[in-house]
């Protein structure tokens, strides 16, 4: 019995022809046809299409729930936020720093009451004049 000869790479004219046909086929496969852009449908100009909150948070989001807890008169603890959102305590602290303080630029105050730290958003003072603040 004789051993089967291993195929040797093609040389000469047939190798370049083979490479040329492969590149042509690859170009045909890669061609994309231009499609007209889908027309964008704009919402009607009635009030129901406009967002209700200026803060940009949806009413059913975890962010909205946390902000509601923080806006309460007594504020809330990290444990209350953990229970409301299912986040880890370190994630809650990151949210308070990164989103509430830095991104939303809300005035967040923290105080220790009965060995527990409570956080709350200070009410805005937009309606109070400068002279009333100074007095």
Tens-place pLDDT, residues 12-63? 666 666 666 666 655 666 556 666 666 555 555 544 444 444 556 688 899 9
Give pLDDT, residue 77: 97
Q: How many C-beta atoms surround the C-beta of residue 76 within 10 A? A: 18
Q: What is the pTM of this model?
A: 0.52
Place of tokens 């027309």: 39
Task: Let me know how many helices (H) and strands (E) the chain has, helices first.
Answer: 5, 2
Task: Report d(CA 27, CA 84) in Å as an integer.
Answer: 55
What is the percent of the chain where pLDDT is above 90? 45
Q: Is the pLDDT of residue 119 over 70?
A: yes
Complete domains list, the chain, with CATH: 57-121 (1.10.10)
Average pLDDT in the 90-95 region?
97
């Amino acid at each position: 019995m004789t051993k089967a000869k291993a195929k040797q790479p093609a040389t000469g004219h047939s190798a370049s022809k083979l490479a040329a046909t492969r590149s042509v086929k690859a170009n045909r496969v890669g061609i994309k046809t231009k499609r007209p852009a889908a027309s964008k449908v704009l919402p009607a100009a009635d009030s129901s299409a406009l967002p209700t909150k200026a803060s940009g948070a949806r009413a059913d989001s975890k962010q909205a729930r946390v902000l509601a807890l923080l806006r309460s008169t007594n504020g809330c603890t990290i444990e209350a936020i953990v229970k409301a959102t299912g986040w880890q305590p370190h994630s809650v602290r990151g949210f308070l720093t990164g989103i509430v303080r830095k991104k939303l630029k809300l005035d967040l105050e923290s105080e220790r009451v009965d060995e527990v730290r409570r956080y709350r958003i200070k009410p805005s003072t937009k309606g109070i004049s400068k002279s009333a603040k100074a007095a």
